[in-house]
């Protein structure tokens, strides 16, 4: 069943952690930090707080506003906190699969919040079960916390070091002990993680926009293959992998990240504007108006307008009260779901030649409905421009992508895609030009475009592969 309201790659997760020596209300800081990261996951939310003696936690399904009340936050007292907003790339959407996860070890309680996907989780899980370990969730994050717990007798830093040496895939995670906050980024830096500071207290989070939300200053990105430990003694950094090359997921810039974030030195909004400019330079076309698909297509539409001199104007009215998921009762209404969320602004499109810009095309179902709605609103021509290369392969590193057989770019020529979508012409941003928008030729995971991944990938599987 396709989701007509949201024919996009699904987000991964967002993590946030804070260590305070100044008696901040760390639970509330984490809550508002997660609020800034809500776009990264809307299925569940959770916060764990340590007070030096124990870890308290609250988590629930839904958005932050649904998962937490004032009373829930009042109960979370301490000086260190981590939080998580989740979209399930592995494991079903059940509250026991929500994060953070908490485990008891020889060193006391630890909690973990993880963004990413482990490609060897099944193998490690089987080995741990054979040695008697009982898993309580169906998510790959429990594999990491169980590995840490098994090595806890060596000290928490060594335990984390040993655990991340064993796993493969993508991970940006924050780990909470009773007296420390630890951040880890995978050796390829596929998922983002950064460090910030507020009045001498330190924050780790997925995107820099969360730092600004809570009034913190950005310090730096956590390096690929780095473990950073924050305690009352300050910050300690350990490099656990020597052969590291930052290969940030390109889709962080194209679609996932908030436009006011800067990741690994690249401002998200600026890269999207440049993508629009490059689309015009790559294949100029004469038209009357440039419109973008809200929200992540708007910046590229502005860039296209800047480069071409063709006016930019809103082409769709967005219903702000439709979330990223909503109930559609039957197939007939599913077909109309796009119109519930986006409706063409008839006065801006009637009788005009339109350049329609979106950040990406996955299955093509939404694109077809958008083109059709513009033509029904009187558009004379619709020229579709995509501010990313053609998606031809699934992602295995923390994005819930369709099977390859469902990707429109994997199975059709450009001409065929034009016919399926019903536009007058179509063009995708070439991969070489995407890299020009980023300002460097290396440093990105482009696997969903060219099938070349930074880590060996498993046989194509669905996100419930850890279910028993």
In the sheet with 201-205, reading across from the earlier edge strand, the strands are 55-61, 44-50, 80-86, 13-19, 201-205, 194-198, 217-221
In the chain, the N- to C-terminal Cα span, in Å, equals 23
Any residues with CB less than 8 A from the CB of 17 and at least 6 apart, and which?
Answer: 30, 80, 81, 82, 83, 113, 174, 176, 181, 183, 203, 204, 205
Question: Tokens 């001199």, residue?
Answer: 309
Any residues with CB less than 8 A from the CB of 145 and at least 6 apart, and which?
Answer: 101, 103, 110, 112
Q: Name the strand (E) or helix (H) holding 181.
A: strand 181-185
Question: Residue 131, annotated ligand binder?
Answer: no
Question: Residue 130, annotated ligand binder?
Answer: no
Question: Residue 445, annotated ligand binder?
Answer: yes
13 as an active site residue: the answer is yes
Question: Residue 395, annotated ligand binder?
Answer: yes
Spatial separation of the C-alpha atoms in residues 338 and 330, rounded to whole Å? 14
DSSP assigned state of 243: S
Q: Which of 13, 194, 209, 437 is catalytic?
A: 13
Any residues with CB less than 8 A from the CB of 200 and at least 6 apart, and which?
Answer: 21, 22
Question: Tokens 């609103």, residue?
Answer: 377
Question: Residue 437, annotated ligand binder?
Answer: no
Q: What sign has the CA pseudo-torsion 204, 206, 208, 214?
A: negative
Binding site residue list: 249, 296, 358-359, 395, 445, 448
Annotated binding site for Mg(2+): 296, 358-359
Catalytic residues: 13
Binding residues for [4Fe-4S] cluster: 249, 395, 445, 448
């Amino acid at each position: 069943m396709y989701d007509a309201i949201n024919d996009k790659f699904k987000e991964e997760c967002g993590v946030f952690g804070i260590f305070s020596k100044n008696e901040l209300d760390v639970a509330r800081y984490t809550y508002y930090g997660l609020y800034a990261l809500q776009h990264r996951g809307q299925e569940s939310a959770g916060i764990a707080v340590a007070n030096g003696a124990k870890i308290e936690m609250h988590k629930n399904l839904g958005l932050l506003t649904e998962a937490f009340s004032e009373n829930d936050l009042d109960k979370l007292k301490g000086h260190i906190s981590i939080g998580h907003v989740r979209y399930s790339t592995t494991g079903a959407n059940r509250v026991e699969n929500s994060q953070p996860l908490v485990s008891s070890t020889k060193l006391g309680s630890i909690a973990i919040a993880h963004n990413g996907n482990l490609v060897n989780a099944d193998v490690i899980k089987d080995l741990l079960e054979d040695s008697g370990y009982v898993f309580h969730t169906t998510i790959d994050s429990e594999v990491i916390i169980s590995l840490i717990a098994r090595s806890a007798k060596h000290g928490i830093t060594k335990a984390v070091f040993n655990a991340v040496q064993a796993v493969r895939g993508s991970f940006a995670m924050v780990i909470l002990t009773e007296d420390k906050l630890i951040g880890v980024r995978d050796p390829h830096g596929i998922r983002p993680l950064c460090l910030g500071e507020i009045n001498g207290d330190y924050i780790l989070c997925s995107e820099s926009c969360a730092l600004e939300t809570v009034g913190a200053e950005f310090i730096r990105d956590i390096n690929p293959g780095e473990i950073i430990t924050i305690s009352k003694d300050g910050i300690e950094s350990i490099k656990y992998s020597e052969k590291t090359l930052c290969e940030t997921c390109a889709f962080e810039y194209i679609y996932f990240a908030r436009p006011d974030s800067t990741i690994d030195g690249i401002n998200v909004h600026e890269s999207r504007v440049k993508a629009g400019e490059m689309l015009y330079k790559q294949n100029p076309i004469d038209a009357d108006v440039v419109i973008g698909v809200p929200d992540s297509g708007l910046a590229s539409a502005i860039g296209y307008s800047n480069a071409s001199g063709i006016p930019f104007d809103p082409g769709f009215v967005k219903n702000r009260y439709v979330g990223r998921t909503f109930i559609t009762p039957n197939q007939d209404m599913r077909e109309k779901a796009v119109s519930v969320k986006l409706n063409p602004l008839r006065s801006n499109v009637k009788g005009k030649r339109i350049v329609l810009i979106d950040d990406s095309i996955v299955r093509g179902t939404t694109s077809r409905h958008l083109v059709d709605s513009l033509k029904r609103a009187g558009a004379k021509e619709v020229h579709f421009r995509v501010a990313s290369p053609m998606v031809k392969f699934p992602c295995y590193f923390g994005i819930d992508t369709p099977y390859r057989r469902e990707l429109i770019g994997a199975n059709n020529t450009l001409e065929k895609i034009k016919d399926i979508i019903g536009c007058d012409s179509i063009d995708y941003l070439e991969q070489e030009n995407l890299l020009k928008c980023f300002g460097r030729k290396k440093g990105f995971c482009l696997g969903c475009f060219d099938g070349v991944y930074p880590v060996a990938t498993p046989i194509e599987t669905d996100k419930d592969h850890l279910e028993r």
